[in-house]
């Protein structure tokens, strides 16, 4: 079971003013936490005594930790994470998993620099040690669930020691590698200097929904799938969690933040008449269960999944198509998630990463600040300080990022021009500082800038129906008999159903092109007479960043969508994730995308029947 480490979101449903460059003082003197009704208590596991114990050990290490003539640490940071999760999964009205997980984790990060007088210039960070990517100057250990300072201090002693030794090895390996394979951007320092932030008042959140509440919901909704011959398997997973975080650094930062989210995942699998596997899913996250659809709404969504499976079982397979595609609702979200958001990070690709991994890393926009990179109709803002977008709760936000830097609203693209990237404390250019977007982990031991609450807006938005007419017109101009609408992409973290044999898995691993976006789960051909025809097996070809210049139009309506953005590839997720093991998916970074529908020209689409199996020889058991 992968355990989430990076949750987001506060449970206060208020719209905060867009805070560009949050000032230290604003955080240093928070208003006393209002005794707001309905908020839960502060942590029992991590108290001031625990933070003091860890600080004492940090100070001792900073003053004394050194092996021989090797460099001493110039920076030590600790992240303490307390996770408390309730989740329940159910199948056909009965529970398959029900559990609480509650743990506390202490993580130490140590940096050592080559030059003691200017250690930031070149240190051990963001380097993947060949054949030893676990040597990353990060060391973790569990802490007790009840505050026990002596154990915390002992734990801090051990993780600091472990991280320091790794930092020395990592620095040595990095220097050696640079000697033999040259240096990219020699003038760019390894680590930025940031002002310390102090914000120690606990952030209180609404308590978790109880396991009983979650179970009732999971059972009720999953019972909707009983007695449907078209459904092979269906799962409903509901979750409620909080994550408290504390950061302490030798620079004087001492901050705390809390993320709180609740979610529901429904997924149903079927099989087309020719044997192809069919996946359908519905997913919603919010700050608490109050932000989620009602039970009746969820039952209606379950019914829609059954209807889709019924329609898809007999639907034609998509043929090759080059032309305009209308990405509607979650389809637009999926396109952004798969082909644009991964490129918005400004942290350089880790040194030492192998070229194939580096290619999948994103970073297509790294050298293009100032250039026009997307259609001039588009403006893109990432705002981790936002709590609400499009009238809905957003889960991608936070007060403090994973390097203890205050969150900032960032205008990434203005009228098609790339203004700046989402940065962490590992700069890609001289003079670059963090804008509070350190979220994503990667080999090499540093956090990478990534999207949080991503707001995409377009000029000249029109009603959805008008955009559909534009699609048909554009398709006709391209000589096509129909236009294509994609309403949702697959999310292997949620929908995977590995009903595979070992040989089928091997085949899949060998033949899957990991550069492709996920397959579409709901797509229609729309004809000039307005007729819509559902199609299956819709697979976009690789979408280069340049395709974003081909946006022909946007809708006036927007879609707000929360999700957990897993760092693994769709293939890895297909192999390991999903609800098929009866648990609740929990990997990935809390993220939100707010976007209009997007009409994009000149997309290449293929049809695929991957995942075809013989139809079962024994019919599904139906019990009246």
Partner 1 sequence: MRWILLLGALTGLAGCPGNGHNGGSSTIGKGGGSGTLPPVPNEIKVDLPNIPSKIEVTRSAPTEGNTPDKRSAILDVMKAENDREIAVLRKQKDPAYYLAYQLVEQRIVNMEAEGGALVTDADDTARNLDVEVRVGSPELDNTRALQDDNNNFNAPLTRRGAVPFGDDKQALSNALWLETDRRYREAVSALGYVRQDQATLSKRTQAPDWSASKAEVYVGAPAKLVFDKSVWVERLKRCSAKALKGAATRGTCGVTFQQYTTYLVNSEGSQIQMSWTHAQLAVSAGVKADDGQNLSRLEQRFGRQPADLPSEAEVEKVIATVTGDLDALHKAPLAEPYVGPAILEGRAAGVFFHEVFGHRIEGHRQKDTTSGQTFASYVGKDIAPEWLSVYDDAQIQTLNGLQLNGFYRYDDEGVAARQVSLIDKGKLVGFLMGRNPIKGFGASNGHGRRSPGLPPVARQGNLIVEVAKSVPRTDLEKMLLEEVKRQKRPYGMIFTDISGGFTNTSAFAPQAFKVNPVMAYKLYPDGKKELVRGIDIGGTPLIALQSIRAASREIETFNGVCGAESGWVPVSASAPSLLIEKLEIEKGFIPHDRPPVLGAPSMKKEAP
**Interacting residues toward partner 1 by CB under 8 A:** 56-57, 60-61, 64-67, 89-99, 101-102, 142-146, 148-151, 153-154, 156-158, 161, 164-165, 226-227, 232-233, 498-503, 505-506, 580-583, 613-614, 616-618, 620-623
Query: Min. distance of Cβ 326 from partner 1 in angstroms?
Result: 36
Q: What is the CB neighbour count within 10 angstroms for residue 338?
A: 17
Query: Min. distance of Cβ 306 from partner 1 in angstroms?
Result: 15
Which sign does the torsion angle of CA 54, 60, 62, 64 carry?
A: negative
Query: Min. distance of Cβ 248 from partner 1 in angstroms?
Result: 16
Query: Min. distance of Cβ 505 from partner 1 in angstroms?
Result: 7
Q: Which is nearer to partner 1, 96 or 539 (CB)?
A: 96
Q: Which is nearer to partner 1, 14 or 63 (CB)?
A: 63
The helix/strand/coil state of 426 is coil
Tell how far CA 274 is from the center of its chain: 35
Query: Per DSSP, what are the bridge partners of residue 78?
Result: 108, 248
Q: In whole angstroms, what is the distance from residue 81 CA to residue 93 CA?
A: 34
Q: Which is nearer to partner 1, 66 or 420 (CB)?
A: 66
CB 78 within 8 A of CB 58: yes
Q: What is the CB neighbour count within 10 angstroms for residue 64?
A: 8
Query: Min. distance of Cβ 273 from partner 1 in angstroms?
Result: 16
Q: In whole angstroms, what is the distance from residue 217 CA to residue 211 CA?
A: 10
Residue among 202, 255, 244, 287 nearest 22 (CA): 255
Tokens of 579: 């609800």
Q: Which is nearer to partner 1, 43 or 559 (CB)?
A: 43
Q: Which is nearer to partner 1, 35 or 622 (CB)?
A: 622
CB 407 within 8 A of CB 382: no
Query: Min. distance of Cβ 70 from partner 1 in angstroms?
Result: 10
Q: In whole angstroms, what is the distance from residue 431 CA to residue 347 CA?
A: 13
Query: Min. distance of Cβ 151 from partner 1 in angstroms?
Result: 5
Q: Which is nearer to partner 1, 394 or 497 (CB)?
A: 497
Q: Which is nearer to partner 1, 57 or 402 (CB)?
A: 57
Tokens of 309: 């499976």
Q: Which is nearer to partner 1, 131 or 294 (CB)?
A: 131
Query: Min. distance of Cβ 619 from partner 1 in angstroms?
Result: 8
Query: Min. distance of Cβ 227 from partner 1 in angstroms?
Result: 8
Query: Min. distance of Cβ 473 from partner 1 in angstroms?
Result: 46
Q: Which is nearer to partner 1, 274 or 602 (CB)?
A: 274
**What is residue 127's DSSP assignment?**
B
Contacts of 87 (CB under 8 A, 6+ apart): 97, 98, 99, 214, 237, 238, 239, 240, 241, 583, 584, 586
Q: In whole angstroms, what is the distance from residue 449 CA to residue 362 CA?
A: 11
Query: Min. distance of Cβ 256 from partner 1 in angstroms?
Result: 21
Query: Min. distance of Cβ 158 from partner 1 in angstroms?
Result: 7
Query: Min. distance of Cβ 468 from partner 1 in angstroms?
Result: 39
Q: In whole angstroms, what is the distance from residue 76 CA to residue 139 CA?
A: 11
Q: What is the CB neighbour count within 10 angstroms for residue 463?
A: 12
Say how many Å lie between the first and final Cα of the chain, rounded: 35
Q: Which is nearer to partner 1, 78 or 583 (CB)?
A: 583
Residue by residue, what is the 3-state secondary structure of 321-347?
EEEEEEECCHHHHHHHHHHCHHHCECC
Q: Which is nearer to partner 1, 126 or 240 (CB)?
A: 240
Q: Which is nearer to partner 1, 164 or 321 (CB)?
A: 164
Query: Min. distance of Cβ 73 from partner 1 in angstroms?
Result: 11
For 588: left if phi > 0, alpha if psi spans -120 to 50, otherwise beta; the answer is left
Q: Measured between alpha carbons, how far is residue 547 from residues 80, 274, 326, 586 in Å?
A: 41, 34, 13, 32
Query: Min. distance of Cβ 164 from partner 1 in angstroms?
Result: 7
Q: Which is nearer to partner 1, 61 or 400 (CB)?
A: 61
Q: In whole angstroms, what is the distance from residue 349 CA to residue 613 CA?
A: 40
CB 435 within 8 A of CB 423: yes
Q: Measured between alpha carbons, how far is residue 38 from residues 34, 35, 44, 205, 531 in Å?
A: 11, 9, 18, 8, 50
Number of separate helices (H) and strands (E) present in the chain: 11, 22
Q: Which is nearer to partner 1, 218 or 438 (CB)?
A: 218
Q: In whole angstroms, what is the distance from residue 591 CA to residue 599 CA?
A: 23
- The size of the chain, in residues, is 624
Burial of 218 (0-12, 13-18, 19+ CB in 10 A): buried
Q: Which is nearer to partner 1, 96 or 240 (CB)?
A: 96
Residue among 105, 102, 125, 101 nearest 113 (CA): 125
Q: In whole angstroms, what is the distance from residue 534 CA to residue 525 CA?
A: 6
């Amino acid at each position: 079971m992968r355990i989430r480490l990076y949750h987001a979101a506060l449970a206060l449903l208020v719209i905060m003013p867009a805070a560009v460059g949050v000032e230290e003082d604003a955080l240093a003197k928070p208003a006393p936490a209002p005794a707001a009704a309905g908020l839960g208590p502060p942590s029992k596991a991590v108290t001031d005594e625990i933070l003091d114990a860890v600080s004492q050990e940090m100070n001792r290490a900073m003053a004394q930790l050194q092996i021989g003539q090797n460099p001493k640490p110039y920076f030590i940071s600790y992240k303490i994470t307390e996770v408390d999760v309730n989740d329940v999964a159910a199948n056909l009205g009965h529970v398959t998993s029900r559990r609480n997980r509650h743990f506390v984790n202490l993580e130490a990060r140590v940096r050592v620099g080559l030059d003691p007088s200017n250690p930031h210039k070149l240190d051990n960070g963001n380097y993947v040690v060949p054949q030893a990517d676990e040597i990353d100057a990060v060391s973790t250990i569990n802490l007790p669930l009840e505050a026990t300072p002596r154990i915390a201090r002992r734990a801090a002693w051990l993780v600091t020691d472990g991280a320091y030794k790794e930092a020395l090895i990592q620095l040595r390996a990095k220097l050696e590698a640079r000697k033999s394979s040259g240096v990219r951007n020699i003038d760019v320092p390894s680590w930025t200097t940031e002002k310390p932030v102090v914000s120690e008042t606990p952030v209180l959140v609404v308590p978790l929904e109880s396991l009983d509440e979650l179970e009732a919901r999971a059972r009720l909704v999953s019972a909707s799938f009983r007695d449907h011959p078209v459904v092979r398997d269906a799962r409903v997973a509901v979750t409620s969690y909080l994550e408290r975080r504390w950061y302490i650094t030798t620079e004087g930062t001492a901050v705390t933040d809390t993320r709180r989210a609740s979610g529901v995942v429904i997924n149903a699998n079927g099989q087309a008449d020719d044997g192809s596997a069919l996946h359908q899913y519905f997913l919603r996250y919010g700050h608490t269960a109050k932000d989620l659809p009602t039970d009746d709404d969820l039952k209606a969504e379950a019914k829609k999944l059954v209807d889709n499976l019924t329609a898809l079982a007999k639907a034609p397979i998509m043929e090759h198509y080059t032309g305009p595609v209308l990405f509607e609702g979650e389809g637009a979200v999926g396109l952004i998630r798969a082909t644009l958001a991964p490129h918005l990070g400004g942290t350089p690709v880790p040194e030492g990463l192998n070229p194939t991994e580096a290619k999948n890393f994103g970073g297509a926009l790294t050298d293009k600040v100032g250039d026009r990179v997307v259609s001039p109709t588009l403006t893109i803002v990432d705002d981790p300080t936002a709590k609400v977008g499009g009238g809905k709760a957003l889960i991608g936000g936070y007060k403090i990022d994973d390097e203890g830097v205050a969150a900032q609203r960032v205008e990434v693209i203005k009228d098609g021009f790339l203004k700046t990237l989402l940065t962490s404390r590992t700069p890609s250019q001289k003079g670059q500082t963090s804008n509070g977007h350190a979220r994503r982990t990667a080999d090499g031991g540093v956090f990478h800038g990534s999207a949080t609450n991503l707001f995409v807006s377009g000029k000249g938005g029109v009603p959805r129906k008008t955009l559909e007419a534009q699609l048909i017109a554009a398709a006709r101009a391209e000589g096509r008999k129909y236009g294509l609408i994609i309403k949702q992409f697959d999310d292997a973290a949620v929908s995977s159903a590995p009903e595979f044999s070992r040989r089928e898995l091997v085949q899949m691993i060998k033949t899957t092109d990991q550069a492709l976006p996920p397959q579409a789960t709901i797509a229609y051909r729309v004809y000039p007479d307005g007729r819509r025809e559902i199609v299956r097996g819709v697979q976009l070809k690789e979408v280069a960043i340049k395709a974003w210049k081909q946006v022909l139009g946007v809708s006036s309506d927007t879609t707000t969508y929360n999700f957990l953005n897993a760092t693994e590839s769709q293939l890895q997720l297909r192999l390991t994730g999903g609800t098929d093991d009866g648990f609740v998916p929990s990997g990935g970074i809390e993220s939100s995308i707010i976007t209009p529908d997007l009409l994009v020209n000149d997309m290449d689409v293929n049809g695929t029947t991957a995942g075809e199996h013989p139809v079962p020889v024994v019919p599904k058991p139906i019990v009246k």
